Structure 1
């Protein structure tokens, strides 16, 4: 067996070494073709279609109907390759597309994601990984049902049921974020509408996971990791070399930060910049008056808008003017409650654009000490939620079941931290490089001479980049630029003036990041429903073939529903990912830790703890996040000023407290549970 495993490892090393060399050769060939072509936009099509074709081939080669292969890749994935698969599973659209963008937009505060996500793997390695692998099983609900089942066949149905619900919910929210990233990439580089791009990406997701389950997903994710890390590191190094003569900016971009700080201080004293900021300050003041006069102001403006539209129709005004006003009328709030929420958000956005831009190098910039304290609190709580969420995400923990042994599981987590760190230390460097490009080569440019990349990115729908000449001087000011963080990485090569082949490579890397995580999430939901619900709770006599077929059908249904939800544009990628982490942390972290380290935890305590943690987190998001408040008209108060993305700060303590109290009030576990916990903790 050891010899077979060694041969298997050597064969994998050869295959993926050849894949890496082939990728580099392909990029070189595309670069030569770009030099001989007057129009390089076709490169985006080539990179996206070729990479999806490669993943499809791996999926077809690895197709299987074997239950163990479909659920856990036969438990024979070597540690280093499982580490790469974990890294690809982990480095989603939020990491590849969003991380550098959030550091670009919020400076120091964006480091919460780096610290939280990286620290989370320490919790995985020391608290959970060896114990979950030692148990075996197929899913996280499987482990919880056995741990809290008191020796019953199939475990505890209540524990399994609520665990499936929590796993499906947090994985689904995370999945929507990945499909949204796919839609953004496809929209920009192929030029189709966002909804079409979403369903195009769906095909790439399904082709990898549908036929081969975890076996196909694992070997596809290894290839996707190579793709995304080559793309990201190439972009960072080439931008740094072209403009700053640095090959490894990750090792020292302090001078770039000092340069950004000087530019921002200069802009704060610029009269034109101040005029733009005053415009937004006045706009915020006007919105505050409208908010204070609600509901009267809502009715007056609605009636005035309706009257203007009727007037245009009566006098047969140009169709373009009528259509514009119709769109404005459709976008107008439905009632006073929605107007309050919408105008408050607009006021906050205007206020943010009216403030001096000192956020890049100053930690927790704010107008008052109270606001600064609130930002500090949210920073710490976000780090906490991301750490415990990382240690609770079902699609990550399931990968711990795919290695041959507990030792290989530990090794795979260590390798995963290394592979993830390659991107995480590069993201802040890329953010700094791109911000220097904005400040030096876009700010101060006449609107009549905007670079071509601006024209292209202003066309993307939904809007990710807008410019408006607020003060009418015909010159771009920093405060006139509105940037969605999701565009920074994708646009970085064009912003820096690199060959378009690098843009195609980055797009392929972003697609790989989104697809790899989406594959794992889809498989987690489908496997939980087929294994834990269909097999354990519906039909215990189902054959292996029927269970695998059920998983495939469920996977297809979940994918289609997730694509539909994504087409509704429920939020930005980073918020959706952060919410998924809070939901996972609130649901699973208390019962997993208590289940391994406290024998007294009972099934009733586990059910109550999961229900309490998940309920608190869902409630806090539901009453504070704009997407839901717009639909329901229900508005809540933020507890201690905590952002809804960090709802796990309340859900996790609630889960621990309720699980412990209920466990102490209910009868002790059967002796078989004590023996199971002792077995897990032994050695």
Structure 2
């Protein structure tokens, strides 16, 4: 190990000891009577201050440091930074909830996101590092000889990364609003400040060392609660091993709930509500006018009563505010509500059953979606620009390969634990919450209800909570698990800090990727090649600010769940990049026009399918092909991208000799002495 790596290792070990000491201090303070709210404040404030200090200390005006961290990040630390960059709010916050609701089928996320790193190691990372540019559009511009392929690459970078970063800032808003006691919309912009302070001044250099620091916080925060819960439930602190036993016992609970008379009564009430919504939708537009007049009449009647409860008035006022504005909105909103009611009316499907469905067609569709999602997430991982850019920061090709190994190792620590999280969370809710008197539910139900992630409806008015009366947002499962299990509040604060670290680390990398694409690939490469270094950095920081605030505004509108939003970003990356990158490296005949047509066709197919099938865009699953959900729309984009690149390349002129030489140089190993030297990188040539 070289002296630089030794010094970094020593500093990081000291940091880990300091983190453990900080946790021990707060645990002691809680026992001594420190209020839970102050524990939450301390966790959030201390971690953001730490990240900000690293961001300030890592500030730089050097272009190579700003864009690729000086190309000197050791493989282990680059793997740690990549893992933090990768384990976004979707992995940290959303995956446990997805596995909670999807059971076996949720493993598609684990398999796809980890399996994608095999593709990265074999097909992309070493070759892109040997090319040695700053961004993925840099490679596209050089390999496919022109600014048009570069520009389409920039569009794909911005689109995929922007969708991804919205989900991260949404996760930041959830955490800050719950644990700091502020409104969600304000929490989004408070968290945004933590994102900007890390990436604004130091670029990739600051982001890298912040992410290395954040990895320790998020992995400790993720593992601690489920290890404690495993010890509490099974007597053995090994959740990855013991959750199989809990899953066996959980199956019996699921069977009991499926046939419980009170549960069946509530499910029948939900079916009746779905039928009413269907009739209401069929009676449009008259039913909308009638519903609005009825709500206004109820509000007038309540206001005329001197003893009317303010809470009842507020409920009716909210109903009026949320009422559809027109017939089209009403049709969309009521159709979604009907689908939700029918979904809630189903008995709990066995958690361990693969591709569970109530009919043969549903089982077939579930299997098709499982396979399609695994494929899209694997290929999307291999095409995600903010991950591929991390392998430009290593000293050489060998370090890039080792970085992929370390990335996968650090990621697996979380991913192997996620299925256990879901099972232990479901066990706690099914055995401790379901069947409890509604008046005696724990405080976390009301706390998360204020954020909008938990909803209770006593549909049969028996005062007891049935499973079909409990609505949980998938994003609440992990964040609320310490409170659900009755663990000390310091664990809740730790989980919040971990979720914040996961969201901030990924948001930093994504925002930097977007700003780099716009400032480096559009402004410097296409508009003003003679721009000075200070001007390039000013453009980069300006675009970073603008994109960050736009993403925060969109996140404040509460888009779809974190996991869906991130999954769709992977579909975009898969279709936009994977065919062009792989064929650009391994097929010399792939040319400029093939790449342009292929990337455009892949993106157009993916986006069109999402518009046709997702309710957010006014689409419906009635338009789906083979029952594939919009989150996996990239599977069609990847196929169309590969086919289009091959066909168009074959009917248009061959690429130039320079482009074919570039392909050959990427696949030809260099002498060992030159492979790790920055001076031998292709980015020192004028090819891009």
TM-score range, shorter chain: over 0.9
Residue 182 (structure 1) shift = 0.3
Aligned twin of 2:195: 205
Secondary structure, counterpart of 1:257 in structure 2: helix
Q: Return the offset for 1:291.
A: 3.2
Q: Are residues 1:506 and 2:495 paired?
A: yes
Instruction: Report deviation, 1:452.
Output: 2.2
Kept after mapping to 2: 8 A contact 1:261/1:358: no
Compute the displacement of 1:626 (Å): 2.5
The alpha carbon displacement at 1:434 in A equals: 1.2
Instruction: Describe the superposition over 1:510-552 as per-residue Cα deviations: whole angstroms up to 9, x where unpaired.
Output: 0000000000000000011110011011111111222112111
Is 1:166 equivalent to 2:156 in the alignment? yes
Change in Cα spacing, 1:456 to 1:324, as seen in structure 2 (3 Å) is closer
Describe the SS at the equivalent of 1:364: coil
Q: Hey, what does 1:128 align to over in structure 2? A: 124
The answer for the alignment partner of 2:640 in structure 1 is 654
Residues 34-43 or 87-96, more deviating = 34-43
Assess if the C-alpha contact under 8 Å between 2:474 and 2:561 holds in 1: no
Equivalence map 1:172-251=2 (5 Å): 172-251=162-241
Aligned to 1:83: 79
Rounded Cα–Cα distance in structure 2 between residues aligned with 1:390 and 1:49 = 32
Cα distance in 2, alignment partners of residues 368 and 205 from structure 1:
46
2:394 corresponds to 1:408: no
Gaps of 5+ in 2: 670-688
Q: Decide whether the 8 Å contact of 2:574 with 2:638 is kept in 1.
A: yes
Measured in 1, the distance between the counterparts of 2:213 and 2:633 equals 35
Q: Distance in 2 between matches of 1:86 and 1:192?
A: 31
Q: Is the 8 A contact 2:138 2:150 kept in 1?
A: yes
* SS of structure 1 residue aligned to 2:2: helix
Distance, in Å, in 1 between the alignment partners of 2:449 and 2:171 is 18
Q: Contact 1:178–1:517 (CA<8 Å) still a contact in 2?
A: yes
Deviations 1:589-642 (A, max 9, x none): 11001101111111111111111111111122223322232xxx8997222221
User: Does 2:442 match 1:426?
Assistant: no
Matches of 2:34 and 2:533, distance apart in 1: 55
Bigger drift between 269-278 and 384-393 goes to 269-278
Matched residue, 2:654 = 668
Of 645, 655, 660, the match for 2:631: 645
Which of 115, 125, 128 is 1:119 aligned to?
115
Which residue among 428, 432, 439 is the counterpart of 2:430?
439
User: Aligned to 1:252, what secondary structure does the other structure show?
Assistant: helix
- Residue 389 of structure 2 is matched in structure 1 by 398
The offset of 1:168, in angstroms, is 0.6
CA distance in 1, matches of 2:151, 2:621: 30
Contact 1:41 1:500 in 2 (8 A): no
Counterpart for residue 459 of structure 1: 450
Match for residue 481 of structure 1?
470
Aligned-partner SS, 1:677: helix
Q: Quick check: 2:136–2:389 contact (8 Å CA) kept in 1?
A: yes
Which of 86, 104, 110 aligns to 2:106? It is 110
After superposition, what is the alpha-carbon deviation per residue over 1:310-334, rounded to whole angstroms, capped at 9, x for unaligned? 6667889957655533322232223
Partner residue of 1:153? none
> What are the within-5 Å matches in structure 2 for residues 288-327 of structure 1?
288-306=278-296, 308=298, 323-327=314-318
1:523 aligned to which of 487, 509, 512: 512
Q: What secondary structure, in the 3-state scheme, does the structure 1 residue paired with 2:401 have?
A: helix
Rounded to whole Å, the distance in 2 between the matches of 1:297 and 1:616 is 37
Partner of 1:26: 22
CA deviations on 1:624-680 (whole Å, 9 max, x unpaired) are: 322232xxx899722222111111011111111111111111111111111110011
The answer to whether the Cα contact below 8 Å between 2:59 and 2:202 also exists between their aligned partners in 1 is yes
Q: Which residue of 2 aligns with 1:255?
A: 245
Structure 1 residue 361 displacement after superposition: 1.8
RMSD of the TM alignment (CA)? 1.8
Q: Is this contact kept in 2: 1:605–1:660, CA < 8 A?
A: yes
Secondary structure at 1:362 match in 2: coil
**Does structure 1 residue 582 correspond to structure 2 residue 571?**
yes
For the 8 Å contact 2:140–2:150, the answer to whether it is kept is: yes
Give the whole-Å Cα distance in 2 for the aligned partners of 1:245 and 1:586: 47
* 1:119-158 Cα distance to aligned partner (Å, 9 max, x none): 1111101010110000000000000100011xxxxxx110
Q: After the TM superposition, which residues 372-387 of structure 1 pair with which residues of structure 2 at under 5 Å, given as runs?
A: 372-387=363-378
Instruction: State the secondary structure of the residue aligned to 2:471.
Output: strand
Q: Name structure 1 gaps, 5 residues minimum.
A: 150-155
Task: Kindly indicate whether the alpha-carbon contact (under 8 Å) linking 2:230 and 2:242 is maintained by their aligned counterparts in 1.
Answer: no
Hey, what's the Cα distance between the residues in 2 that align with 1:313 and 1:265? 47
Q: Does 1:596 align with 2:592?
A: no
- Aligned twin of 2:481: 492
SS of residue paired to 1:667: coil
Cα deviations by residue, 1:72-115 (Å, 9 ceiling, x for unpaired): 00000011110001100000000000011111112111111001
Q: How far apart are 1:56 and its partner, in Å?
A: 0.7
Query: Are 2:87 and 1:98 aligned?
Result: no
TM-score by length of 2: 0.94
Q: Does 1:626 align with 2:612?
A: no
Question: Is the 8 Å Cα contact of residues 108 and 363 (structure 1) preserved in structure 2?
Answer: yes
Shift of 1:197: 0.4
> 1:11 is matched with which residue: 7, 15, 37?
7
* 1:466 aligned counterpart, secondary structure: strand
1:552 aligned onto 2:541: yes
